[in-house]
Structure 1
Amino acid sequence: MTAQRPVEILGIGMTTAVGLTAPTTAAAVRAGVSLSRETSVLDRRFKPIVMTTVPEADLPGLSPALHATLGLTARQMRMLRLGGPALRESVAGVDRVDRIPVLLAVPEPYPGRPAVVGPGFLQQLAVQAEVPFHLERSRIFPQGRAAGFAALHEAIERLASGSDVYVIVGGIDSHLDLHLLAALDLEGRLRAERVFDGFIPGEGAAFLLLSSAGKAEHLGRSPSARIDGAASAEEPGHRYSEEFYRGDGLDLAFRRLFASTAGAVQTVYAGLNGESFNAKEWGVAYIRHRERFAEGATIEHPVDCLGDTGAALGPMLVGLAAVGINRGYRRAPCLVWCSSDCGGRGAAMVSGAQGREVR
Structure 2
Amino acid sequence: MNGVVVIGLGLASSLDDVVTACAAARAGINRAREIPAFGAIDDDVIEFVPIAGHECHPLTDGFQGDARLIRLGTAALRNLLAYSGLQSDDLSRTAFFLNVGSSFLSSVGEPSEGASIERVSSASLVDALCQFGALPIPKELRFVLRGDHHGVATAVHEACELLRRRVVERCLIGGVDSFLERKTLEMLTRLRLLKTVGNPVGFMPGEAAAFFFLERAVPARQRGARIEAELVATSAATEETHRFSGPSHGSGLAAAMGNVLEAVRKKQSGPALVIHNLNGDPWRAMEWGTALVRLAGVELLREPRAWFPPASFGETGAATGPLAVCMAVRAFARRYAGSPYALIGMSSYAGTKGALVLRAPTRDVSQVG
TM-score in same-fold range (> 0.5):
yes
Aligned length: 339
1:193 lines up with 2:197 in the alignment: yes
Give 1:65's aligned residue.
none
The separation in 1 between residues aligned to 2:3 and 2:261, in whole angstroms, is: 14
1:286 lines up with 2:288 in the alignment: no
Matches within 5 A, 1:1-359: 4-19=1-16, 21-45=17-41, 46-56=48-58, 58=59, 74-92=64-82, 93-94=85-86, 95-109=89-103, 110-111=106-107, 112-113=114-115, 114-115=117-118, 116-240=120-244, 242=245, 245-262=248-265, 263-264=268-269, 265-294=271-300, 295-330=302-337, 331-354=339-362
Cα pair 2:97 2:155 within 8 Å, conserved: yes
Which secondary structure state, in structure 2, belongs to the residue aligned with residue 82 of structure 1?
A: helix
Cα offsets for 1:3-43 (capped at 9, x unmatched): x3342110000011012x21111111011111111112223
Deviation at 1:355, TM superposition (A): 6.3
The separation in 1 between residues aligned to 2:142 and 2:2, in whole angstroms, is: 21
AA matched with 2:79: E
Cα pair 1:230 1:348 within 8 Å, conserved: yes
AA matched with 1:82: L
Cα pair 1:5 1:156 within 8 Å, conserved: no
Cα pair 2:177 2:317 within 8 Å, conserved: yes
Deviation at 1:47, TM superposition (A): 2.7
The separation in 2 between residues aligned to 1:60 and 1:208, in whole angstroms, is: 25
Which secondary structure state, in structure 2, belongs to the residue aligned with residue 28 of structure 1?
A: helix
Which secondary structure state, in structure 2, belongs to the residue aligned with residue 254 of structure 1?
A: helix
Deviation at 1:341, TM superposition (A): 1.7
Give 1:66's aligned residue.
none
Deviation at 1:243, TM superposition (A): 6.7
Cα pair 1:44 1:185 within 8 Å, conserved: no
- Cα pair distance change 1:355/1:234, threshold 3 Å: farther
Deviation at 1:344, TM superposition (A): 2.2
TM-score normalized by structure 1? 0.88
The separation in 1 between residues aligned to 2:221 and 2:259, in whole angstroms, is: 31
TM-score normalized by structure 2? 0.86
Deviation at 1:44, TM superposition (A): 4.5
The separation in 1 between residues aligned to 2:363 and 2:226, in whole angstroms, is: 13
AA matched with 1:292: V
Provide the identity percentage.
Answer: 28
Deviation at 1:248, TM superposition (A): 2.0
Give 1:69's aligned residue.
none
Deviation >6 Å, runs of 4+: none
Cα offsets for 1:267-326 (capped at 9, x unmatched): 111211111111212122212222334444211112111111110000100111011012
The separation in 1 between residues aligned to 2:74 and 2:123, in whole angstroms, is: 17
The separation in 2 between residues aligned to 1:168 and 1:36, in whole angstroms, is: 29
The separation in 1 between residues aligned to 2:56 and 2:308, in whole angstroms, is: 19
Deviation at 1:91, TM superposition (A): 2.8
- What are structure 2's unaligned runs of at least 5 residues? 42-47, 108-113, 365-369
- Cα pair distance change 1:52/1:61, threshold 3 Å: closer
- Cα pair distance change 1:119/1:30, threshold 3 Å: same
AA matched with 2:70: L
Of 280-289 and 316-325, the range deviating more from structure 2: 280-289
Give 2:110's aligned residue.
none
